[in-house]
Amino acid sequence: MGDDDARAEIDAHIELLVDELVAAGHPLEQARREARERFGDPVAWHRRTHRTDPRRSGMTTTMMTRFLQDFRFALRSFRRSPGFAVMAVLTLTVALAGNTALFSVLDSAVLQALPFPDSDRLVFIDGVHRTAEGEARRMASVPEFRDWRERARTVESVVATAGATLTLAAGAESERVPGEMVSEGYFELLGGEAALGRTFSPDEYTAIGGPLVAVLGHDLWERAFGADRSVVGRTVTLDERTVEVIGVMEEGFGGVNLGSDLWLPLPALTLNASADIFESRGSRFLPVLGRLAPGSDLEQAQSEFESIALQLQQEFPGANEDRFARLTGFREGYLDTTGDLLWVLFGAGLLLVVIAGANVANLLLVRAHARTREITVRRAVGADSARIVGQLLTESLTLAAVGGALGLVGAQQLLRVALPLVPEGVLPAYAEPAISLRAFGFTLVVLLVVGVLSGLTPAMASARRDLAGALRSGRGSVGRGNRAQKAFVVTQMGLALLLLVGAGLLTRSLRAQLAIDPGLEVQGLHALRVSPPLDRYPDPASLRLYADEIRLRVAEVPGVGAVTLSSDVPFRGGSSGSYAMRPDDVETLIRVHRHSVDPGFFDLLGVEVLAGRVFQSSDDADAPGVVVVSRAFVERVFPEDPAPAAAVGRQVWAGNPNDPDNLAEIVGVVDNVRFRNLTQSMLDGPNSPDLFYALAQVPARTHEVTFAVDGDEAAAIAGARRAVQSFDPSTPPFALASLSDLYLGQTAMPRLAAVLMGAFSLLALSLAAVGIYGVLSFTVHQRASEIALRRALGAEGTDVARRVVVDAVRLAGLGVVIGGVAAFLAGDLLESLLFQVQAGDPVTLVLTGAALLAVAAVAAAVPALRAARREPAEVLRRE
């Protein structure tokens, strides 16, 4: 292109801009100044076109030079349209911040390696009680653990561990320390090594009743012993027993519980239990773990343990009836349903990014149409289609880069604010979400994909416009761009429906859980735990004395109301499984939950008495054995006459029928209480039988002290703690919790899922509404002449508005159909997170679809009213 031609094209482009500004109402001189300011220096433009013409210079511009030119041009372009740039960047920032934060959580909890060697081959081995109604998890007894270890070939290094909170006496102060009692091979399996001293010898793992030894955790060593290296070989006091310290573990090792501070060999179970526990098949309290043997996989190991379970059922038909084992990989065991939730939320975050990208693509399409004359002139002065596409892609990538950078900052702040709000126990202890290099790389990949895909369609549409037609009309062909916009809107609507359905299902599931009647009152109640040591309180009489004194002292605290002691409280675990039998059928064993409670328990917790009475002070150690049972107990044990009143006065064997002390009279029937879990039970079904002993007749080794607060809550709680420890300073209270918090903890996971999915779906719905508003506004603008002509020929404004709204609903309807099909196909992904709601729930699909159509109609209202109110004569005159 010659100099004269290039200058003529530049002048023509400036004149086109002047015409546009004059038509928009600017005075001629102001329009000329504005056009030259927008276009830039004509001499610089000429130099660039002259320099890049290969026929004159024989040189080509390098990719980096072109990119820098395009980048600078993009920044100037955004300065001229700040509203567009802010909207696009804000849209991407919100989506990328949420998705990057979720990826960081997913990465730390699911993707990164566990803090154990060969962790992908480590497994948990749980005992399960399996019936036609399903499986209920129970741990292993010591004999069962030994059977598994000796017979398994597909799993090696089978070890057991018993968690325990022990009282460490260090000088005048006592501290409750989380610890584990472990079997041989434990440290080798988990890759733990002693930083000082040693771990346990084979003899120490088997010496029941012998001298006790302990290995300290690194944090405990620093905290309680000041990192004194001479601690190895010294003795400490644990639960009133002298224990020799033989080693200190390396820093960072927290055992399988990830937070243990102390380890003892398995024979240390005698700290709080008799030696009989080593031979009792009914005492199931041991978590068991192991490593898959070389050449074995989880399926083969599960099959082998099924065979072992059948063998044990034949050998021990009473204790092992319906007993099986369930093997679970370590990560799945730590995560439980949290892994499913994180994947679902991460998928929702990706869908939100796609919706945001579609929104930005729509904005770029509208912007590309508004820049038709500019792009046309650039093509006329020699820019080819590839150059135009490169320029527009640079703009979209610049927007994505800015949005990604702000998204990383937003993700970091989001993690800082949100992580403390995540309920305890939802994330595994090893997960420490942070914006890592992997998270940065993930965000980089996402923003590149979003930048390219959101810019590609507008760029291609601009590059393909008819040059001659665009120069004549100033608009160019819009059909392809309009179709692309509608396709983006349909995609947004479909994905928004998918997220809305997920949020709706999780919300309905949460409502179903909250609707469950726990059978008790929890407001204003607090509980703390005490565990008197076996050496000091070795028999039932001493335990009764301890319980009586604790009850009296706590009741005297100002601000404390009623007080009750029990073996366990609802939603905290602790209740154990046992058997009950009818005197006329001792061969039929009925599995039950067993609890020991004092007379005030049922009244304080608001448990309804259906028949008979609850315990009285006269139900002491010298009185005949009595029990209170639940309604589910009566229905299971006496199915021929399940009326609560009919059970009062009947006798049951509450334990081994060979022991006459286990024969007890039912003196009362209470309503069902959800002790173990709000939605499921340790035993057969959510309302498995409960059997309550009088605490004075069957004392508990560990007591839950539950009390009501009538005054200053903080002062009453502190006073209750002091009162407990004042009786016996060597047994400090621990595990303080409000029953309200324990109840809320039962729904922590579904609440988190519903809230996060709801937030994603509302963001998606908002973006979809903005998208459909933008498309219809653009369509109304493009069809201004057609609409004006129809109005001039007699069409009513309401008819025009109706057609605009119908177009919106039609687009949304297509998205609803696509999204509904996708939601139905993806329903299985939510199955593990739902309670009493089916993944393909038609009510949720219909309601969310209707909500989406309504939002689309509302979003269409503004462009519809604008089209209806526009004066035909004014539009036709301007055209």
* pLDDT < 50 regions, the chain: 1-2, 5, 50-61, 467-481, 682-684, 686
> DSSP secondary-structure letter at 702?
S
- Distance, C-alpha 400 to centroid of its chain: 28
Query: In a 10 Å sphere around its CB, with 0-12 CB exposed, 13-18 middle and 19+ buried, how is residue 877 labelled?
Result: exposed
- Virtual torsion, Cα 853, 854, 856, 859, nearest 10 deg: 180
Amino acid at site 651: Q
Say what the pLDDT of residue 470 is: 45
Other residues' Cβ atoms within 10 Å of the Cβ of residue 677: 13
Q: In angstroms, rounded to a whole number, what is the distance separating the alpha carbons of residues 302 and 30? A: 82
Closest listed residue to residue 219, CA positions, set 262, 189, 265: 262
Reported as a single tens digit per residue, the pLDDT across 288-341 is 999 999 999 999 999 999 999 999 999 988 778 888 999 999 998 888 888 888
Query: Distance between CA atoms of 532 and 541, rounded to whole angstroms?
Result: 13
Closest alpha carbon to 381 in 733, 48, 841: 48
Q: Tokens 């299902």 belong to which residue?
A: 505
Q: What phi and psi, each to the nearest 5 degrees, are found at residue 428? A: -65, 155
What is the pLDDT at residue 11? 64
Cβ atoms of 140 and 108 within 8 Å: the answer is no
Reduced to 3 states (helix: H, G, I; strand: E, B; else coil), residue 518 is: coil
Planar angle of CA 328, 331, 333, nearest 5 degrees: 45
- pLDDT for 56: 42
pLDDT tens-place string over residues 68-109: 766 777 677 777 777 777 887 888 888 888 888 888 888 888
Q: What is the pLDDT of residue 589?
A: 77
For residue 163, the one-letter residue type is: G
Check residue 209 and give left, alpha or beta (phi > 0: left; psi -120 to 50: alpha): left
Q: What is the pLDDT of residue 92?
A: 82
Query: What's the CA gap between 813 and 502, in Å, rounded?
Result: 18
Identify the pLDDT of residue 220.
Answer: 93
pLDDT at 472 (0 to 100): 47
Helix (H, G, I), strand (E, B) or coil at 442: helix
H/E stretch holding 808 reads helix 797-825
**DSSP-derived secondary structure letter, 179:** E
Q: How far apart, in whole angstroms, are the C-alpha atoms of residue 59 and residue 567?
A: 88
Q: How many CB atoms lie within 10 A of CB 59?
A: 10
Q: What is the residue type of 270? A: T
- Alpha-carbon Rg for the chain, nearest whole angstrom, is 37
DSSP bridge pairs for 565: 705
- How many angstroms separate the Cα of 453 from the Cα of each of 361, 364, 815? 8, 11, 20
839: amino acid identity, one letter: A
Dump strand ranges (E) for 99-154. Answer: 122-131, 134-138
Of 506, 168, 167, 492, residue with least CA distance to 356: 492
Length of the chain in residues, anyone? 879
Q: Are 801 and 316 in contact (CB under 8 A)?
A: no
Quick one: how far is CA 136 from the chain centroid? Answer: 23
Here the tokens at position 304 are 């082998």
pLDDT for the residue 218: 94
Mapping DSSP to helix (H, G, I), strand (E, B) and coil, where does residue 596 land? Answer: strand
